[in-house]
């Protein structure tokens, strides 16, 4: 079984996250892609998420609920505190014995990878799959070094920051997030 691991703050999850996930799933021939919302990221100490961990977890669940190829794992939310990728990959390796894990990383995350907790063990547990934004020339995979795969993804100019700013400015977020997430944000009064 080939499993993609997509961690992040998801504050909130948006269509860019979903398109990246779809591109990665197709390019890597994944059987499943697991979204893992973090409690707190070690490299973002001092910039805590706006929505609560439970609200972010629920929004991710809502965003992927209609696609059986996706799953959501609450390990980092349940663990609380700083989220270390090595701990999460150990958890997934135990849960999905024998599966080949692919850790999805942006170029910026890959650049800082040597400073992560136990990067050698992470590379033992998973193949690093870094995303590179392209135009609309399709998807491609190429080896970018030992144990690293590069996935070319489509360019989507939307961010969680932009979604939050639009909400604070009382602008529509229709098309930026799945409708189920939009309804949840409205019902909970998030990001206002």
Please report the beta strands in the chain, taking only residues with DSSP state E, as ranges in sequence order.
Answer: 2-8, 32-37, 70-72, 100-106, 126-134, 141-143, 148-154
Domains observed in the chain: 2-155 (3.40.50.620)
* Contact of 9 with 41, CB cutoff 8 Å: yes
Which residue carries 């360019």 as its tokens? 155
Scan for tokens 């992927």, then name that residue.
64
Nearest to 51 by CA among 84, 10, 7: 10
Q: Are 24 and 40 in contact (CB under 8 A)?
A: no
Put simply, whether the predicted model's pTM sits higher than 0.85 gets the answer yes
35 and 58 in contact (C-beta within 8 Å)? no
Q: Which two tokens stand for residue 94?
A: 């135990």
Beta-carbon count within 10 A of 50 CB:
17
Question: At CA 27, angle to CA 22 and CA 31, rounded to 5?
Answer: 70
- Please choose, from the candidates 8, 14, 89, the residue with its C-alpha nearest in 3D space to the C-alpha of residue 43: 8
In angstroms, the CA 147 to CA 113 distance is 13
Phi-psi region of 111 (alpha: psi -120 to 50; beta: other; left: phi over 0): alpha
In order along its 192 residues, the chain shows pLDDT tens digits of 999 999 999 999 999 999 999 999 999 999 999 999 999 877 665 566 799 999 999 999 999 999 999 999 999 999 988 889 999 999 999 999 999 999 999 887 888 888 999 999 999 999 999 987 654 344 445 445 567 898 888 878 899 999 999 999 999 999 999 999 999 999 999 998
Residue 111: the pLDDT is 84
């Amino acid at each position: 079984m080939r499993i993609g691991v997509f961690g992040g703050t998801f504050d909130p999850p948006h269509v860019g996250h979903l398109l990246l996930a779809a591109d990665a799933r197709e390019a890597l021939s994944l059987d499943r892609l697991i979204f893992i919302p973090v409690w707190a990221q070690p490299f973002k100490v001092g910039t805590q998420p706006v929505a609560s961990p439970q609200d972010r977890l629920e929004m991710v669940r809502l965003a992927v609920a209609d696609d059986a190829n996706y799953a959501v794992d609450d390990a980092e939310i349940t663990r609380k505190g700083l989220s270390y990728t090595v701990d999460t990959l150990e958890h997934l390796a135990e849960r999905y014995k024998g599966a080949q894990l692919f850790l999805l990383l942006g170029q910026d995350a890959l650049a800082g990878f040597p400073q992560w907790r136990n990067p050698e063990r992470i590379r033992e547990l998973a193949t690093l799959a870094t995303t590179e934004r392209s135009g609309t020339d399709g998807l491609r995979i190429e080896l970018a070094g030992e144990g690293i795969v590069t996935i070319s993804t489509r360019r989507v100019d939307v961010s969680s920051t932009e979604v939050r700013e639009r909400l604070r400015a009382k602008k529509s977020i229709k098309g930026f997030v799945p409708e189920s997430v939009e309804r949840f944000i409205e019902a909970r009064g998030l990001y206002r």
